[in-house]
Amino acid sequence: MTKGIYIVLSNCQLARDTWEMVLGGDTSALTNPGQFINIAIEGLYLRRPISVCCYDPGTITIIYKVVGKGTRKLSAMTPGDTLDVIVGLGNGFDVAKAHGRKIAVIGGGVGVPPMYDTARRLAAQGEDVTAILGFATKDVSFYIEKFEALGVRLMITTDDGSMGQKGFVTDALRESGCDYVMACGPTPMLKGVHRSGIEGQLSFEERMGCGFGACMGCTCQTLVGPKRVCLDGPVFSTSEVSFE
């Protein structure tokens, strides 16, 4: 984990209320896809956690939805501005565990960004990958071409049928024939994926307080008791998660 000042290299709107920001700075603390960063935003007490969409030496790309004060402030930033960021938080996905399986990489809404790097790594390893991306409507969709460019099989669902198949990612998962899941999205989506009974890894985006394990404000239920999403997760295996 590193804390430092990162420079905004670009900040572009991708879809309705959805922005992509590229930050320049030290990326040495990043090891796995699905890790997150915690951004200090001027005038706000708590940092805002955002998943790493992808990274290369010296740059980190994030995608965020404008939902409140913090993300609205982020969307107003321009190249050359700086941010105080903690980088390399959380465990991320273990791509090695999926080796040789028929893998469904599933993202729902703002759960799609961490799945991009996950799919990118799996594709680079020559794995059999089906990316299943779910959005509410076409106008909030993003990164479709980026996933296409990875050469993975792609299934898109929207709640209203304005793009791809009408329905939920769980419908596409059933049709995909996959036998391993790696997923990030809202809790009801993760619950649906978990209910499929397919083995794999789930990433939670719970509301956070401190972001470093001290407040228990981000706990999720597991079979061995509550665990902290910020420190023990955000990725948990399907066998340890409980939605009861």
What's the CA dihedral at 29, 200, 168, 159 to 10 degrees?
-10
In angstroms, give the least distance from the CB of 16 to ligand FES: 29
Around 89, how many Cα atoms within 13 Å sit in the side-chain half-sphere? 25
In angstroms, give the least distance from the CB of 109 to ligand FAD: 8
Rounded to 5 degrees, φ, ψ at 75 are: -70, -15
Candidate residues 67, 209, 237, 242; the one interacting with ligand FES per rule CB under 6 A: 209
d(CA 203, CA 183): 6
Q: Which does 211 bind (CB under 5 to 8 A by kind): ligand FES, ligand FAD, none?
A: ligand FES
d(CA 139, CA 136): 8
d(CA 38, CA 30): 13
Number of residues in contact with ligand FAD, rule: CB under 6 A?
Answer: 20
From 87-95, 173-181, 213-221, 234-242, span contacting ligand FES (CB under 6 A): 213-221
Helix (H) or strand (E) holding 145: helix 144-149
Of 91 and 162, which has the nearer Cβ to ligand FAD? 91
Of 135 and 178, which has the nearer Cβ to ligand FAD? 135
Instruction: Kindly write out the interface string for residues 32-51 of this chain, putting x where it contacts ligand FAD by CB under 6 A and - elsewhere.
Output: ----x-----------xxxx
Residue 208 as a binder of ligand FAD (CB under 6 A): the answer is: yes
- The number of residues making up the chain comes to 244
The answer to whether 78 and 31 are in contact (CB under 8 A) is no
d(CA 201, CA 237): 4
d(CA 14, CA 139): 10
In angstroms, give the least distance from the CB of 163 to ligand FES: 34
Residue 67 as a binder of ligand FAD (CB under 6 A): the answer is: yes
Residue 217 as a binder of ligand FES (CB under 6 A): the answer is: yes
Instruction: Kindly write out the interface string for residues 219-238 of this chain, putting x where it contacts ligand FAD by CB under 6 A and - elsewhere.
Output: ---------------x----
Residues that bind ligand FES (CB under 6 A): 208-211, 213-218, 228, 230
